[in-house]
Amino acid sequence: RKEVEQDPGPFNVPEGATVAFNCTYSNSASQSFFWYRQDCRKEPKLLMSVYSSGNEDGRFTAQLNRASQYISLLIRDSKLSDSATYLCVVNRAGNNRKLIWGLGTSLAVNP
Amino acid sequence: NAGVMQNPRHLVRRRGQEARLRCSPMKGHSHVYWYRQLPEEGLKFMVYLQKENIIDESGMPKERFSAEFPKEGPSILRIQQVVRGDSAAYFCASSPLEGGLRSYNEQFFGPGTRLTVL
């Protein structure tokens, strides 16, 4: 089983749609959780950290379920510029700085 | 505050040559991470370093690859005797020394070096 698993997609949605991505991780000792986005042939960019209580940043909402070892990202009112690959990232364990990267979920927002 | 800088952005080498990739972390960041991304594949961790120390090199190939982060100057990823399979995008990221569990694990990426081996 992979340490971080994501549905690769692609997700094709119209502008204005709401889309949700899910991610599972295998190590119950992981303590840091992130969503990054990566545009084609560009570097990954931090979208948001994921807190235990869930957090929101504008149109983006992230949730963490430690019991199920599950992270989600919800994007409301999708824009064309949201088209990218979304990467789920967790740290190995505890204070370990090594991050484990999912393979990403591809999103295409269509006009 | 300048972001993570990498150079060169593009590097072409012939088989058997050496490739040197450089990374300057964000100001105030103490840790540097190197990743490799093959076309159409995910990001693969290679190594992470603090000044003058390799902390975790579990993702580095056993031969031909080495990394350093000297007291002065950028971090260097060195690939000796390159082969066609080394062609990839190499990304560097950095993170701060302290700041609480969340912030010091946040990594900020440079634009990458695209290595092409002919």
Residues A44-80 pLDDT 10s: 999 999 988 889 999 999 999 999 999 999 999 999 9
End-to-end CA distance of chain B: 37
- Residue B1, pLDDT > 60, answer no
Rounded CA separation A69/A77 (Å): 27
Q: Is the pLDDT reported for residue A43 higher than 90? A: yes
Percent of chain A clearing pLDDT 70 (strictly above): 98
N-terminal to C-terminal alpha carbon distance within chain A: 37
How far off is chain A from B42, nearest CA to CA, in Å?
Answer: 5
In sequence order, what are the residues at sequence separation of 6 or more whose Cβ sits closer than 8 angstroms to the Cβ of residue B22?
B6, B7, B8, B74, B75, B76
Per DSSP, the residues of B51-92 read TTEEEE-TTS-SSSEEEE--SSS-EEEEE-S--GGG-EEEEE
B39: cis peptide before it, omega within 30°? no
Question: Does A21 score more than 80 pLDDT?
Answer: yes
How far out from the chain centre does Cα A46 lie?
A: 10
What confidence tier does A41 reach under pLDDT thresholds 50, 70, 90? confident
Q: Picking from A12-21, B10-19, B99-108, which range would have the lowest pLDDT averaged per residue?
A: B99-108
Instruction: For chain B, give the percent of residues with pLDDT over 70.
Output: 94
Looking at residue B99, its pLDDT comes to 63
- In the structure encoding, which two tokens stand for residue B113, read together? 């070096």
Q: Do the Cβ atoms of A32 and B107 come within 8 Å?
A: no
Q: What is the pLDDT of residue A95?
A: 65
| Residues 6+ away with beta carbon under 8 Å from A17 | A78, A109
Residue A99 has its nearest CB partner, among B41, B107, B108, at B107
Rounded distance, CA B87 to CA B92, Å?
A: 16
Contact state of B108 with A46 under an 8 Å Cβ cutoff: yes
Q: Mutate which of A23, A34, A43 to test chain B, going by most B C-beta atoms within 10 A?
A: A43
**Three-state SS for A82?**
helix
**With bands split at pLDDT 50, 70 and 90, how would you rate the model's confidence at B42?**
confident
Q: What is the pLDDT of residue B63?
A: 94
Out of A41, A44, A49, whose CB is closest to B109? A44
